[in-house]
Amino acid sequence: MRINHITRKFNNIKIGEKLLLSYILVVFLPVLLVGIILITGIRNMAVENAIREATFNVERIYTRVDEAMKLLMNISYKLQMDQNLERLLLTNYKGDQEVFESYYEYTEFNNLINLYSSEVREIRIYSENQTLLNSGHFYKVTPELSESEWYQNIVKANGKIRWQYLQDDYHSRYHLCLTRLIKTNLGNKTTGALIISMNGDYLNSLLRNEPYDMYFCDDNGNIIASGKRDMVGKNINDSEISIIASLSDGSWQTEYFGMPANVIVRNMSPGLYNGHFKIVSMVPVSFIERQATEAAVLGVVIMISCLLFAFLLIIVFTRAISKRVKKLSMDMHEVAMGNFDLDPTMDGKDEIGQLSEDLGVMIHGIKQLINEIQYIDAQKNQLAIKQREIKLKLLANQINPHFLFNALETIRMNAHSKGDREIAEVVMLLGKIIRKNLETGNEMVSLETEMDLVKSYLKIQKFRYRDRINFSIQYENDEIRESKILPMTIQPIVENSVIHGIESKQCDGKISIYLAKKDGCLVITVEDNGNGMNKERLQELILSLDEMEDASGSRIGLKNVHQRIRLFYGDKYGLRIDSVENIGTRIEIIMPGEWCEKVKSINY
């Protein structure tokens, strides 16, 4: 009862007010509620997205740095196995000229630097061979050098890779270097200490374009690379970010230059002896909150603008719809009062316009019905008299089939009694054809019954044309004789072959009929050696078979048979025609059938 009461109250509200109420309940309040929920959650989403983005960027930088380090390691392995380098370092030279010639002939260092110029800055090797000269990439180990910390670290590693943050000899800049001892292939003698310096600009370029500050540090706290140029070379223990020295892999909350921040840490260990590095991304919370606030404000502005715009549109649409509904209501009231001279015209193709148009059609229909009823009442008796007259005329014009059959039978018996058996047989065949045509309905007939009609027709044509026409009928087997088909599907095709293919031939006309099973279908092939058709006429005939207009022209039989078969069995069945001009025509009648294997033939 309560629901019915609410429904009645709602039905009493005007359409315009219903639309406004629907807008408030269905659009305004849900959008406002969803907007508030989204705006309150946008900060957390922004922080999560920023951390996710920073984590992804850290992993990407990790991959790039790891690839660069592995490149330097592969170069060191290559040089370890370089016999030319081993020979150069172990040779006792007799003069400076001989040393310079060896340096000039050995180009592997320059080739590697040119090939990997982005990642590799310099390749040097220090040897205890005192016959060498300090030049280019080759240096002698001095007593001071052998006592240095970085050289002692190389010696302690004993051939293993050790990463060190070393200062170059020229610009006093520090670079990340791969260091290791190079030994002979047998491993029993040291040939030199190898130093491969990584290009610091390459590392800095990887971090420079990141949205947040990123640092690449070694296990001693040295900042090897950073997007902030002034931080490169510093030690994190002596800076505002000393807290990150103790952080392991993961996401952490800390302070960055006195402001809350999320820190993404990724440790890496590319070396075999040492080399623990950190990739750190600093994500300031204040920066994320500022972006989230800006996005929230923008969202509020867009939401309010959309709601106001939608409200204005609802007002405009409501007034337009109410005005048209009111006009339609007034027109319908006039019709209900009996005013059928009203012309309710209203612009528009919407539902209201369609109702107005239908109202006009209804008024016109009612007026027509009134006039027709009056006309029918006035003409009722006269129409009944005319119908009886037509019925009598139809009865008078009917032909009695028994009279026609009796007349043909009398002619046949008369010819037979006079000894003209051929004429008697032809009259009998003609009577059979006429009887079949008169008795034919839509019931299915056996293939043998249909072919009996075809043979009667061909025998009559044989009587007419004598040796100008011959025919043969061939069955693939006896079983298909009992297949059920539509009546009058073969005889029109055979008649078409006689009229359009054989009549114009003076002799040796031939019609062949072959009935067989192919690909699950009953295929009846009617082939003649008549005039045939050219390609243009054949294409025109094939296209005309599927036209649904009334059949006309010289090919009525073909079209009617084709369309009857398709309507009864489906579109994949029908006629298939092939013809060659001056050679003959071949027509296949395709219908569903059963598979048979033996082949029988009848020739005439």
Helix, coil or strand: residue 267: strand
pLDDT tens across 547-585, in order? 755 444 445 678 888 888 888 888 889 999 998 888 889
Residue that wins the pLDDT comparison between 580 and 379: 580
Over range 490-519, report the average pLDDT.
85
pLDDT-derived band at 399 (thresholds 50, 70, 90) equals: very low
Residue that wins the pLDDT comparison between 150 and 252: 150
Contacts with 158 (C-beta within 8 Å, 6 or more apart), sequence order: 181
Structural domains of the chain, with CATH: 1-304 (no CATH), 461-603 (3.30.565.10)
Q: What is the percent of the chain with per-residue pLDDT over 70, rounded to a whole number? A: 73
pLDDT-derived band at 604 (thresholds 50, 70, 90) equals: very low
Residue 596 has pLDDT above 50, yes or no: no
- Lowest mean pLDDT: which of 68-82, 90-104, 174-188, 341-355? 341-355
Kindly state the helix (H) or strand (E) to which residue 588 belongs, with its residue range: strand 584-592
Residue 392 has pLDDT above 70, yes or no: no
Q: Which pLDDT score, from 0 to 100, does residue 526 have? A: 92
Residue 11 has pLDDT above 70, yes or no: no
pLDDT-derived band at 8 (thresholds 50, 70, 90) equals: low
Amino acid present at 325: V
pTM equals 0.46
Alpha carbon of 392 to those of 10, 145, 382, 384, 396: distances in Å?
67, 138, 16, 13, 6
Residue 431: closest CA among 397, 463, 401, 465: 401
Residue 281 burial (10 A CB sphere; 0-12, 13-18, 19+): buried
Residue 112 has pLDDT above 90, yes or no: yes
Over range 286-309, report the average pLDDT.
73
d(CA 343, CA 349): 17
pLDDT-derived band at 599 (thresholds 50, 70, 90) equals: very low
Q: Which pLDDT score, from 0 to 100, does residue 554 have? A: 47
Q: Sheet harboring 584-592: ordered strands across?
A: 574-580, 584-592, 521-528, 509-518, 469-475, 600-603
Per-position DSSP letters for 490-507, written without gaps between them: SHHHHHHHIIIIITT-SS
Mean pLDDT taken over the chain = 77
Sign of CA dihedral 442, 448, 452, 458: positive
In the DSSP assignment, the letter for residue 88 is: H
Residue 233 has pLDDT above 60, yes or no: yes
Helix, coil or strand: residue 375: helix
Residue 169 has pLDDT above 80, yes or no: no
Residue 389 has pLDDT above 50, yes or no: no
